[in-house]
Amino acid sequence: MSSASAPMLLDDEIEPFGADGPNVCWFIADSAASRLHILYGRLEIVMNILIVGCGKVGSMLASELSRMGHDVAVLDREESHFALLDSDFSGYTISGVPIDQDVLKRAGIEGCDAILAMTEDDNVNIMICQMAKEIFQTKTVLARIFDPKREKIFSTFNIRTISPTSLTVDMVLAALSGSYETRHTLIGNTTLSYYTVHPQKEWIGRYLKDLRLPDTHLLGTLRETGEFSLIQNDQAILRPGDLLVAARVIN
C-alpha cells in the first residue's frame, strides 16, 4: 500500500510542520498502518484500505476515499474496470484473481487497516473476508452482499455486511409509509434503519407509548424547532407539528 511522504513516527511522538500560527498542522503516527492527522484543529484518521471489486460501487468508494486522503488500493479481475475510477484517483490498481493469496499480498493486504469486498459475487466476497480475517488478521472487513438470506452466513464468521437489496426495500417501504427522512447505521453485523414519519391526525394528543408502527420501535419525536426528544416516560404526548422518530432492523 502507499504511504505519505512524511516519515512514520514511533508511538506518542508528535512532529509539527507547516507555518506557525492559526494554520499549524500536526502529523501524529503510531507503529500501525493507519495515521492520525490533526488538520486545522480537526482530527482525521488516515487508513490503508484495500477495495476488491472495481464496479460502480467499488470505483465510487475508491475515488471518494482517495479524495478524503486515505491510502487506497483497488483489486479487480479485469484491468479495464479501472477506467471507472475518477481521473483524480491517487491510489493503486492491481489486476488479478481476488481470492489468490499472492495477489492479495501484491495488493498490500498485509498492511491494510480495512478490506472492502465489493465484487458482484457474494461467494467471492465472503471468501475474501474470511481470508482477510483468518489469514491476514485484518482488523476491519466489510462485504457487500446481494442475497439478504446469506447475511446469517456472514455473521457466523463475524463479518460485517451491507445489503443493497435490503437497503433498497427499506427505503421504498419508508417512502410508501410517508417517512420524511431515512438513515442507516451498522451496529456489529446488524443494519438499523432510523427514519421520521408524519403521524396521522388522529394521533395528535395521544400518549406516545400507545402508538404502534408495524415492525418498528418508536424512539421519540422531532419538534418543528429541530429538537429531538426521546420517549423517557409514559406521559409523553404527541404534539401538533411533531414527527415520529422510529427504528427497525433491516437484516
Q: Where exactly are the structural domains of the chain?
A: 14-46, 48-162, 167-249
Length of the chain: 251
Name which of 86-90, 112-116, 173-177 the model is least confident about.
173-177
3-state DSSP assignment of residue 149: helix
Find out whether 41 and 31 touch, Cβ atoms under 8 Å: no
Instruction: Tell me what the mean pLDDT of segment 77-82 comes to.
Output: 95
Q: Phi and psi of 79, rounded to 5°?
A: -65, -30
Q: Which of 203 and 167 is assigned the larger pLDDT?
A: 203
* CATH number for the domain running over 167-249: 3.30.70.1450
How is residue 175 written as a grid cell? 417512502
Q: Determine whether domain 48-162 maps to CATH 3.40.50.720.
A: yes
Q: 20 or 95, which is more confident?
A: 95
Whole-angstrom distance, CA of residue 143 vs CA of residue 160? 6
The overall pTM is greater than 0.85 = no
Q: 209-246 burial, b for 16+ CB within 10 Å, e for fewer? A: eebeeeebebbbbbeeeeeeeebeeeeeebeeebbbbb
Could you report the per-residue pLDDT of 4-30, keeping only the tens digit for each?
333 333 334 333 434 444 333 333 333
* pLDDT value, residue 169: 67
Above 50 in pLDDT, residue 148?
A: yes
- Average pLDDT (54-69) is 93
Lowest-confidence region among 84-93, 115-124, 131-140, 225-234:
225-234
CA 15, CA 187: separation in Å to the nearest integer?
A: 35
Buried b (16+ CB within 10 A) or exposed e, 13-36: eeeeeeeeeeeeebbebeeebbbe
Give the pLDDT confidence score for residue 128 in this predicted structure.
95
Q: Which of 67-81, 90-104, 206-220 is least confident?
A: 206-220
pLDDT attached to residue 184? 61
Residue 2: partners with Cβ closer than 8 Å, 6 or more residues away: 48, 71, 73, 91, 92
Residue 235: predicted pLDDT: 82
CA distance 35 to 45: 6
Check if the beta carbon of residue 116 is closer than 8 Å to that of residue 52. yes
- Using DSSP's 3-state secondary structure scheme, residue 64 falls into helix
CA distance 160 to 190: 8
Residues 37-65: what's their mean pLDDT?
A: 79
Average pLDDT over residues 136-165: 80
Q: What is the mean pLDDT of residues 107-130?
A: 93
Q: What pLDDT is stored for residue 200 in this prediction? A: 83
Q: What confidence score (pLDDT) does residue 49 get?
A: 95
Higher local confidence (pLDDT), 250 or 25: 250
